[in-house]
Amino acid sequence: MGRFDFESMSQDEDAAVKFQLNSTGNIFTASTSREATLSDEARRLFKGVSTLFDAMAKAMSESGRGLFDYDGWMTLLQGSGLFVQLERYDRNLEIRSCAVPVGTQIIQQALPGISDGASMDIAKRVLLAIGGKLEGSREDEKKRFGHLMFINEEIMGCASVSVRLFYASRESHAAVIAVPCHEMSARGFYQKQIANNFLLVDAGKVSKYECGNDSAEGAYNYKGLVESMLMLLNK
């Protein structure tokens, strides 16, 4: 009595989920609503996330760090008080010997829902940039490079935000480095991909950043946010 009927659930029509990456590949949004019908809660939160990422990126730049600086991102995620760390993402990506380029296979497995179009092109550019960093780190095989990704989710009007910090080194990704991402692999192999997962726990505070720099109050809050991030990075 009162048991949930999973068989009946499987027969229901799934709500269509739309996926999109922002232009830098740092914000991944999954939503069952069109942008015009997003709930006010989700709209404020997602705009606030954009401002938060901009502030974090600005602080990274002003402290002399690049956008793939793994240690810098970890400092901000662990020290800002906005996030709580979760169990890490740990997956073996299967790279097959087929007509699909290695980079495309990686993206399709790491970001389910991204299969083609503008978001796929953005993800490929990110992979290419990370590949360049790995190629240039020959003096330190263990040096980690990280790619920060906010994951905005809006399902049936309920919004949540998590963060995934993917990372790689020449040592951990030697098999992938050996095959350019735009090429097909002559052999199949597995690539372990690990990422640190965080959950945004102060959505109310982040939602207050929705205006960005569009108002005097927004500019003041943004400046304070950047300064607080810089303090963490410069400790």
Whole-angstrom distance, CA of residue 218 vs CA of residue 220: 5
Under the banding of pLDDT at 50, 70 and 90, the label for residue 8 is very low
* Phi–psi pair at 83, nearest 5 degrees: -130, 155
Sort residue 162 into left (φ over 0), alpha (ψ -120 to 50) or beta: beta
CA-wise closest residue to 214 among 46, 38, 47, 32 = 47
> 110-157, pLDDT tens digit by residue?
998 888 889 999 999 999 999 899 888 877 889 999 999 999 999 877
Does residue 18 carry a pLDDT above 80? Answer: yes
Is 0.85 topped by the overall pTM?
yes
Chain-centre distance for alpha carbon 117? 18
Question: Which pLDDT belongs to residue 15?
Answer: 60
Provide the token pair at 78: 């662990």
92: β partners: 192
Residue pLDDT, tens place only, 45-102: 999 999 999 999 999 999 999 999 999 999 999 999 999 999 999 999 999 998 899 9
DSSP string, 10-32: HHSPPPP-EEEE-TTS-EEEEES
CB-based burial label for 118 (10 Å; 0-12, 13-18, 19+):
exposed
CA distance 205 to 69: 26
Mean pLDDT, residues 10-37 taken together = 77
Supply the pLDDT for residue 14: 54
